[in-house]
Amino acid sequence: MAEASPLYETYMRAPLRFVRGEGVWLFTEDGERYLDFAAGVAVNSLGHAHPHLVEAIKAQADKVWHLSNLYEIPGQERLAQRLCAATFADKVFFTNSGAEALECSIKTARRYQYSKGHPEKFHIITFEGAFHGRTIATIAAGGQEKYLEGFGPKAPGFDQVPFGDMDALKAAITDATAAILIEPVQGEGGIRTVSNEVLRELRSICDENGLLLILDEVQSGVGRTGKLFAHEWAGITPDIMAVAKGIGGGFPLGACLATEEAASGMKAGTHGSTYGGNPLAMAVGNAVLDIVLADDFLPHVRDVALVFRQGLAALKDRFPDVIEEIRGEGLMLGIKAKVPSAELLKAMRAEHMLGVPAGDNVIRLLPPLTTTVEEAREGLHRIELAAESLGAREPVLAARA
């Protein structure tokens, strides 16, 4: 019998041990090669071992790793300036993870209302199927029973409405509402895109009611949908935005971005983090931006995404018993399966290709943004083989029945 693991039993891990990565490929201990369209759940935005990131972290490692926020950190100022120049934001707070970026976003919104003389306005409206992290506040914001169960009373101040139900949303606004929080594309909820019209309506509703619009772009941000941030497709801007995953390219890094006005309540002493914005993280974040902000980067993402999506649509037509729908934007795509999605994921893994499970029987495909057209075609080929292997079983099962 295998020895009991000393690790918490919180994860259902696939029996795979990767020891090396290169671009879009991961290599196991035995030297087997897998096409990585999971990218650490949208984290390895530039693939594995990108030479520019490797060089940046090595150079910083030789200088200084950590200082704390007791001192000025030039890398923070540079990364914040670049993020502000590229977005709606005027102010940035650096974190180590997505959930912490959300925590900062929630605190910023509440503190804004408080500093305007409205301490009673601390409620935040969120949407069913949302995922904002695993801290006590973010599981309350996400509102999913499976993540809340057994952890004591749900943190107060989060009011959830059905996804896309604008009447329910309007009805949920009260004198205690501070903000609306939404992912422009729900990731773990099953790659559900919020339409541009709905995003624009949310912006208007916030303006009309004195609410702040908080966008969770932890998964959809940093080029993933073919724009730097997904909300740009709708031509709106939020007041506050949570960012993580892709901005660190694999190094734990997150950020809360805000307008000057929205951040106006966050005075000295109101928030902090030991590690947030440390020099190693800043070196990597700046190196990621060197690449993502280059003129030809986002057009590349859009070109590859088009080929990949068209190929997926063709596979859906060819395998209607396996694939129900293709969803998403840019390189944040989902296959809603007709078969149990875990079976399709397993079949893909048998073809040495990785994807990510999501809600609503969906498999997320989140390849590195550096994926080439040829690699996207390789991915399509492997999904085709996986679908074939499942499709082929159908008549056999039917014959047995």
Q: Give the residue with the Cβ less far from ligand PLP, 315 or 366.
A: 366
Shortest Å, Cβ 218 to ligand PLP? 4
Shortest Å, Cβ 135 to ligand PLP? 8
Site membership for ligand PLP, residue 126 (CB under 6 A)? no
CA nearest neighbour of 328 among 369, 355, 366, 380: 366
Q: Give the residue with the Cβ less far from ligand PLP, 256 or 289.
A: 256
Task: Map the footprint of ligand PLP across residues 21-50, applying CB under 6 A.
Answer: 41
Q: Give the residue with the Cβ less far from ligand PLP, 131 or 319.
A: 131
C-alpha span between 191 and 37 (Å, rounded): 15
Q: Give the residue with the Cβ less far from ligand PLP, 225 or 322.
A: 225
For ligand PLP, the binding residue among 179, 218, 228, 234 (CB under 6 A) is 218
Q: Give the residue with the Cβ less far from ligand PLP, 347 or 356.
A: 356
- Phi then psi dihedrals of residue 281, to 5 deg: -60, -40
Shortest Å, Cβ 106 to ligand PLP? 12
Q: Give the residue with the Cβ less far from ligand PLP, 216 or 351.
A: 216
For ligand PLP, the binding residue among 159, 188, 239, 375 (CB under 6 A) is 188
Site membership for ligand PLP, residue 99 (CB under 6 A)? yes
For ligand PLP, the binding residue among 44, 97, 278, 370 (CB under 6 A) is 97
Task: Map the footprint of ligand PLP across residues 196-215, applying CB under 6 A.
Answer: none
Site membership for ligand PLP, residue 216 (CB under 6 A)? yes
SS (H, E, C) the chain: CCCCCCCCCCCCCCCCCEEEEEECEEEECCCCEEEECCHHHHCCCCCECCHHHHHHHHHHHCCCCCCCCCCCCHHHHHHHHHHHHHCCCCEEEEECCHHHHHHHHHHHHHHHHHHCCCCCCCEEEEECCCCCCCCHHHHHHHCCHHHHCCCCCCCCCEEEECCCCHHHHHHHCCCCEEEEEECCEECCCCCEECCHHHHHHHHHHHHHHCCEEEEECCCCCCCCCCCCCHHHHHCCCCCEEEECHHHHECECCEEEEECCCHHHHCCCCCCCCCCCCCHHHHHHHHHHHHHHCCCCHHHHHHHHHHHHHHHHHHHHHHCCCCEEEEEEECCEEEEEECCCHHHHHHHHHHCCEECEEECCCEEEECCCCCCCHHHHHHHHHHHHHHHHHHHCHHHHHHHHC
Shortest Å, Cβ 188 to ligand PLP? 6
For ligand PLP, the binding residue among 47, 187, 249, 367 (CB under 6 A) is 187
Q: Which stretch binds ligand PLP (CB under 6 A): 54-62, 95-103, 112-120, 324-332?
A: 95-103
Shortest Å, Cβ 279 to ligand PLP? 20
Applying CB under 6 A, the site for ligand PLP has a residue count of: 15
Site membership for ligand PLP, residue 132 (CB under 6 A)? yes
Shortest Å, Cβ 214 to ligand PLP? 11
Site membership for ligand PLP, residue 129 (CB under 6 A)? no
Which residues here bind ligand PLP, judged by CB under 6 A?
41, 97-99, 102, 131-133, 183, 187-188, 216, 218-219, 244
